[in-house]
């Protein structure tokens, strides 16, 4: 088993990920944090989360001028995979699933998530420190998707980390660092700040078409197991691409 806590390419039991050190992303991180929109977005999310008593949330960047600026900044980054433009991928609806999101987590939060369509995902931590645990879903205990995810949701952070050492990967995301998560992976994200929130950006990338079949198959299982967790737009997008899933899996 190979784990990385400070960047570089790494894999655990066949599940690979790519990490980017904060030193290499310092200018990019400072540029994003220097945007006027950044502080106002943090304030808005904090107020919105307080109203509905959430300890973690993500919000798509909908302001066209800001979204365009972010796309320009991120496509020039060393990730090698910036947010997808509609004309660069299968359909505009899939581009919606790949839109850039600001996320925020408060101390004590623990998030279990699968990226839209279970696509590869980039998580760019801008402020705070968080532990990212990744699991290849077939290796998780349980017979069905619902059982697998439920077990993760019920686990204490320490237990999830122990499981990740056996069948997954662990990444300690420092401020300004990023990780590219492979397709078809379920994540457990644990902020370890005691007094301050974690802030960052996350977005999905499409990669090569031949690599999408695994992701879409995982997404199909996730939609069937947790229909109430998929918003109407997401569910419609999944159904729209059902034919593509079948073709890609053939």
pLDDT tens digits, 45-78: 888 888 888 888 888 887 888 888 888 888 777 7
Between CA 130 and CA 249 the distance in angstroms is: 35
Residue 184 pLDDT > 70: yes
The pairing of strands 111-114 and 130-136 is unpaired
pLDDT at 198: 94
Residue 133 pLDDT > 60: yes
pLDDT at 209: 53
pLDDT at 145: 84
Residue 6 pLDDT > 80: no
pLDDT tens digits, 112-131: 888 777 788 889 999 999 99
Of residues 192 and 82, more confidence is placed in 192
Residue 89 pLDDT > 50: no
Of residues 25 and 111, more confidence is placed in 25
Residue 1 pLDDT > 60: no
pLDDT, mean over the chain: 75
Going from the C-alpha of 138 to that of each of 143, 151, 169, the distances in angstroms are 9, 14, 14
CA 31 to chain centre: 21
| Short-list 244, 233, 146, 137, CA closest to 188 | 137
pLDDT at 34: 93
Between CA 82 and CA 42 the distance in angstroms is: 22
Between CA 169 and CA 56 the distance in angstroms is: 22
Q: Are 249 and 213 in contact (CB under 8 A)?
A: yes
Residue 8 pLDDT > 60: no
The pairing of strands 198-204 and 121-127 is antiparallel
Mean pLDDT value of segment 209-227: 72
Of residues 212 and 168, more confidence is placed in 168
The class that CATH gives domain 8-249 is mainly beta
Residue 197 pLDDT > 70: yes
Mean pLDDT value of segment 245-250: 28
Mean pLDDT value of segment 213-231: 72
Residue 9 pLDDT > 70: no
Residue 175 pLDDT > 60: yes
Residue 250 pLDDT > 80: no
Mean pLDDT value of segment 232-243: 40
Residue 199 pLDDT > 70: yes
58-63: list long-range contacts, CB under 8 Å, 24+ apart.
Answer: 58/101, 58/102, 58/103, 58/104, 58/202, 59/101, 59/102, 59/103, 60/99, 60/100, 60/101, 61/99, 61/100, 61/101, 61/102, 63/37
User: pLDDT-derived band of residue 30, with 50, 70 and 90 as boundaries?
Assistant: very high
| Half-sphere exposure of residue 42: CA atoms within 13 angstroms, side-chain side | 17
């Amino acid at each position: 088993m190979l784990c990385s806590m400070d960047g570089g390419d790494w894999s655990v039991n066949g599940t690979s990920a790519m990490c980017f050190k904060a030193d290499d992303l310092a200018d990019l991180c400072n540029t994003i944090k220097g945007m006027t929109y950044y502080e106002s977005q943090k304030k808005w999310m904090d107020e919105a989360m307080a109203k509905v008593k959430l300890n973690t949330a993500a919000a798509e960047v909908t302001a066209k001028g800001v979204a365009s600026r972010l796309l320009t900044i991120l496509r020039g980054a060393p990730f090698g995979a910036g947010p997808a433009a509609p004309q660069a991928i299968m359909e505009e609806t899939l581009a919606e699933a790949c839109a850039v999101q600001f996320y925020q987590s408060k101390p004590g939060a623990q998030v279990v998530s699968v990226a839209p369509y279970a696509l590869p995902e980039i998580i760019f931590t801008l402020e705070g420190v968080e532990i990212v645990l990744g699991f290849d879903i077939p290796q998780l205990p349980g017979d069905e998707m619902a059982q697998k995810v439920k077990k993760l949701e019920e686990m204490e952070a320490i237990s999830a980390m122990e499981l990740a050492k056996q069948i997954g990967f662990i990444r300690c995301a420092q401020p300004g660092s990023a990780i590219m998560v492979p397709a078809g992976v379920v994540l457990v994200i644990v902020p370890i700040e005691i007094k301050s929130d974690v802030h960052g950006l996350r977005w999905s990338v499409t990669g090569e078409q031949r690599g999408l079949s695994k992701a879409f198959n995982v997404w199909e299982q996730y939609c069937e197991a947790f229909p109430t967790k998929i918003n109407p737009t997401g569910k419609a997008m999944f159904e729209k691409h059902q034919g593509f899933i079948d073709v890609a899996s053939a």
